[in-house]
Structure 1
Amino acid sequence: MAKEAFEKLFDKAAIDAKVRKGFPLRHRWHNDFHLEMPFGLVNDPNGLSWFAGKYHIFFQWNPLGVEHRHKCWGHVETEDFVHYRLPALALWPSDMHDKDGCYSGGGFVEDDALRLVYTCNCRDGKKRIPMQRIASWQPEKGIVQKDAIIIEHEPSGYTAHFRDPNRFLKDGREFLVLGAQTVEEKGRAVLYEKKAGAWQLAGEIKTDLPDFGYMWECPTFLPLAEGDVLLFSPQGLEAEEYRWQNLYQSGYIAGKFDADSLEFQHGAFHELDQGFDFYAPQAFLHEGRAILFGWMGMPDLEEEYPTREEGWLFSLTMPRELRLSDGRLFYAPLEEMKALRKGEARKFTAARTVEFGQMIAQKSEIELEILLGDAQQVHIDLAYIGAGEYVRFSYQRRTSVMTIERHGMKCGGRGVRRFRLAVRDSLKLHIYKDKTAIEVFFQDGAEAASFFVFSTQDIVPNFVISADRKLDKIEGSFWELGGFEWNER
């Protein structure tokens, strides 16, 4: 494709103008404190970084439709995760290297510049030619300037499924980690190290997962004070009763990585999120915090999302902070999310009861603690009573299993997710409900779940708790929430 054809197809001025016209988001299914676009398909968070006094959030975006084609990068920036500059097109296919899409990658600050690295998607007939390119953010123009191709092709022994570079520092050395597939169709994480100004193949990260899916996507390596963490998204895991229940998974291993031998001594692979709609997360470090965004959606299941018929698909999650303790990650919404609260908390409490109801708002935050007492089974419902629809969380004490059930909804994805959750006498949930996006943190962040709910009616659900026997006590706090505030660039 000639340069003129790229410029016509990806007209930044026209696309940015259409975005500005689309804000504020108006459809009743559009969320207010989850990052999404008025049109097109959003997926992987990319290039997460802190630069020049702002957080920069890039993300995969097809501004031309709701298919996984024409992959570009959108961009927003914020100082506090509540006030944002309007999204804009930042990176798009423009030459023969990335003519079939600008795929995922990471961001980092170097020499007082925000540098980005991404995968160029180029197809020659049925053949994929993956190349990794370095680039630079140009804030005065609001674009990503493409620089050199730093890795021209996949290494020997791997297929062309070789992508999603992300940079990290370890022991004073500079690495790129990429998701890869061996010629035997086994997922891997591959490292390149920067030496004498060039990126040189170092080898695979050596794990205890030699046969763990056919591809590992979107790796992030986090060298934390408490240990090293590798986030990645393996494809091809077979579903089990209490894990691997999504079409594709996202999770992590934690332990100690040796930069010389490339050996990673780690514990078990744990999923990052137990919900229906979470994939391809990316995290970055800033001032002692590990901050993560995920893609709220699931590839290859687009028919489950009714907004496709309205011209847009998917969101990013809220930002969450990761904390490593005893080899496990714990999750919490960023402290900045408290600024979304409108007014003081409304407290609620009840004692020795089998049922309790609480009115909430369309956009709500709920902190809930249930002292289980004699109860062996407890249900927590978001009940859209006027529509005859509901979402249910159920906890079984005997089996220590939490179930999330969407069978009660008439529109969009349904199904059930079950996972183990260690609870003694007190069940804790911290719930964020946007218009359609729901994120829940269980047991002080031991687990999290992200998913969409599309009610057929524009109504506010009731919050209902019920149990098979009397609960000792129910107590909590409820806040009505506002939304992100968007400002012109």
Structure 2
Amino acid sequence: MKKDNWRLAYHLMPPDGWLNDPNGLCEADGVYHVYFQYAPNTPAPDGRMARTWGHYAGPDLINLSFKGVPFWPETLDRDGCYSGSALVEDDGTIDLYYTGNIKEPGDYDYIHDGRLSNTILVKTDANGDTYSDKHLLFGTKDYPKDCTRHVRDPKVWKEDDQYYMVLGARMNDDSGAVLFYESLDGVSWRLLKIEKTGEPFGYMWECPDYFELDGQPVLSFCPQGLEAEDFRFQNNHQSGYCLLGGELRGKQAFRPFHEWDMGFDFYAPQSFVDDRGRRIMIGWAGLPDKPYGNPTDQRGWENCLTVPRVLFKKGDKIVQKPISGLKRLRTHPSRPDAEGTLTLPDASGDIEIAFADPDAGWQIQIGSGVRVSYNGCIVRLTLDAQTGCGRDERLAQVDGVRNAKILVDRSILEIYLNGGETVFTTRYYEDFEADRSLDVTFGCEGADIYAWEMRPMPANQIYDEEENDIEV
């Protein structure tokens, strides 16, 4: 038996089973919480396999521990505790809001009939140790009549003692929208407005998130059903944001849509503000209904989250930068040659590059099957058939590349260009031999390169210390 060389060093992943959307992100009384969609390999207490939430917590976003499953599907959510969010109250307690999914047995399309979506509230303490009973706030019969049965993913926040909630929706005319609700107590809610673009922009908007950056309203959402273009909407489902004009309580105008990430694997991001005032976003490094694979499913686990990213407004766009706390995992610094090779003995590293000429072409080979290159205002991320498991190429138009940051972590890459103006995230699966040694070869004439190996964060050390019980 061997260790699983695709297990990650500094990205959160499930102990076993399936992970997808980040949920309930918050900091309460100095404790950070990262909940996530989780389908463990072991049955729920009722004996069924279940889609529910998993939970990591700790004093910061690096030193996290897995705390298990906070609640399991019951009557109100018998077919899954779906995505939701957290609101930290003034007394330090946490309100968890999420969608309880019910699929009625029968011959239904589960779009216009046969599905119930319950918006549910569960309360917990600042440590996330004890959980209240589930409280049904409203359900399918309470949503606007021009909605289909696809209404989900509540994100809740508070302004001036007023509670607000956004829900993603698919309307009966197959257009996506966001439902805005308001409440005085976080329990009794009324519809405030429905926001959508003037022309249909996809048939469904999932995982909405509303926040302000430097006083600018932002709506993040995941539109489904957009037609692919050469340099936009290259995945089967997208994830991005619009800056909004106008006030929250009135009609707001949508400015152009920007994708959060141009890679193969990014979806369902959620953000929160910590006690330091940082707007931090975490995404699922995956995609629903994807046309490519993750061979880790044969090893009993699948998917991971991105590293936490701090958001900053820059002109009419938002830039993303990995949290500075990741630097605490750095070890063995080096200065690779701009046209040389860096060997990462554990396939885990942090690479920073300053290019001598922003307009000059360059290329970087990562392992045997991944190439990142720039030429003629186009950045290409290319994976070969074996390494990509169906992932091939993603493109982005960029007016020069001044700098790059590449996070390498065994079976995931996060690539940040121009200080996080353009980002690519992808899973990749190097055919490691006895160990995880990975070569990164640079063709970046004149560039200054700094590199570090990265130590595993505490939550992931167990996977390096224990041998896998699956032949790999």
Q: Give 1:430's aligned residue.
A: 405
Partner amino acid, structure 2, of 1:72: T
Runs (4 or more) in structure 1 with deviation over 4 Å come to 138-141
Q: Give 1:440's aligned residue.
A: 415
1:378-416 CA-to-partner distances (Å, cap 9, x unmatched) read 21111x3xxxx221111113xx11110012644623210
Q: Give 2:371's aligned residue.
A: 392
Note if 1:372 corresponds to 2:352: no
Partner amino acid, structure 2, of 1:92: W
Partner amino acid, structure 1, of 2:344: I
Which ranges of structure 1 fall in alignment gaps of 5 or more residues?
1-24
Q: 3-state SS of the aligned residue for 1:106?
A: strand
Larger strand percent: 1
TM-superposed deviation, 1:443: 0.7
Q: 3-state SS of the aligned residue for 2:134?
A: strand
Aligned residues: 440
Q: 1:118-197, aligned counterparts within 5 Å? A: 118-125=98-105, 126=108, 127-138=114-125, 142-153=129-140, 154-170=143-159, 173-195=162-184
Rounded to whole Å, the distance in 1 between the matches of 2:421 and 2:68 is 35
Aligned pair partner of 1:224 in 213, 217, 222: 213
Note if 1:415 corresponds to 2:401: no
RMSD across aligned positions (CA) = 2.3
Q: Is the 8 A contact 1:86 1:487 kept in 2?
A: no
Q: 1:84-95, aligned counterparts within 5 Å? A: 84-94=64-74
Q: 3-state SS of the aligned residue for 1:36?
A: coil
Q: Is the 8 A contact 1:411 1:456 kept in 2?
A: no
Q: 3-state SS of the aligned residue for 2:12?
A: coil
Rounded to whole Å, the distance in 1 between the matches of 2:31 and 2:197 is 38
Q: Give 2:58's aligned residue.
A: 78
Partner amino acid, structure 2, of 1:432: L
Q: Is the 8 A contact 2:177 2:205 kept in 1?
A: yes
Q: 3-state SS of the aligned residue for 2:394?
A: strand
Rounded to whole Å, the distance in 2 between the matches of 1:209 and 1:422 is 30
Q: Give 2:456's aligned residue.
A: 483
Rounded to whole Å, the distance in 2 between the matches of 1:202 and 1:483 is 45
Q: Give 2:447's aligned residue.
A: 474
Q: Is the 8 A contact 2:358 2:402 kept in 1?
A: no
TM-superposed deviation, 1:87: 3.7
Q: Give 2:96's aligned residue.
A: 116
Note if 1:98 corresponds to 2:77: yes
Partner amino acid, structure 1, of 2:256: A
Partner amino acid, structure 2, of 1:401: I
Partner amino acid, structure 2, of 1:445: G
TM-superposed deviation, 1:320: 0.7
1:19-46 CA-to-partner distances (Å, cap 9, x unmatched) read xxxxxx9411111111112311000000
TM-superposed deviation, 1:122: 1.0
Q: CA distance change for structure 1 residues 70 and 427 in 2, over 3 Å: closer, same or farther?
A: same
Q: Give 1:38's aligned residue.
A: 15
TM-superposed deviation, 1:145: 2.5
Q: 3-state SS of the aligned residue for 1:267?
A: strand
Rounded to whole Å, the distance in 1 between the matches of 2:320 and 2:297 is 30
Q: Give 2:190's aligned residue.
A: 200
Q: 3-state SS of the aligned residue for 1:38?
A: coil
TM-superposed deviation, 1:303: 5.6
Q: Is the 8 A contact 2:370 2:387 kept in 1?
A: no
TM-superposed deviation, 1:330: 0.4
Q: CA distance change for structure 1 residues 373 and 332 in 2, over 3 Å: closer, same or farther?
A: closer
Q: 3-state SS of the aligned residue for 1:255?
A: strand
Q: Is the 8 A contact 2:222 2:268 kept in 1?
A: yes
Q: Is the 8 A contact 1:31 1:436 kept in 2?
A: yes
More displaced stretch, 322-331 vs 355-364: 355-364
Q: Give 1:3's aligned residue.
A: none
Rounded to whole Å, the distance in 1 between the matches of 2:311 and 2:298 is 35
- TM-score normalised according to structure 1 size: 0.85
Rounded to whole Å, the distance in 1 between the matches of 2:25 and 2:375 is 38
Rounded to whole Å, the distance in 1 between the matches of 2:307 and 2:281 is 8
Q: Is the 8 A contact 2:10 2:460 kept in 1?
A: no
Rounded to whole Å, the distance in 2 between the matches of 1:341 and 1:63 is 31
Q: Is the 8 A contact 1:283 1:292 kept in 2?
A: yes
Q: Is the 8 A contact 1:83 1:487 kept in 2?
A: no
Q: Give 2:327's aligned residue.
A: 338
1:291-316 CA-to-partner distances (Å, cap 9, x unmatched) read 01100111123761101111111001
Q: Give 1:279's aligned residue.
A: 267
Rounded to whole Å, the distance in 2 between the matches of 1:289 and 1:60 is 24
- TM-score normalised according to structure 2 size: 0.88
Partner amino acid, structure 1, of 2:83: S
Q: Give 1:465's aligned residue.
A: 442
Identity over aligned pairs, percent = 31
Q: Give 1:7's aligned residue.
A: none
Partner amino acid, structure 2, of 1:265: A
Note if 1:455 corresponds to 2:435: no
More displaced stretch, 76-85 vs 227-236: 76-85
Q: 3-state SS of the aligned residue for 2:210?
A: strand
Note if 1:58 corresponds to 2:38: no
TM-superposed deviation, 1:138: 4.5
Q: 3-state SS of the aligned residue for 1:122?
A: strand
TM-superposed deviation, 1:256: 3.2
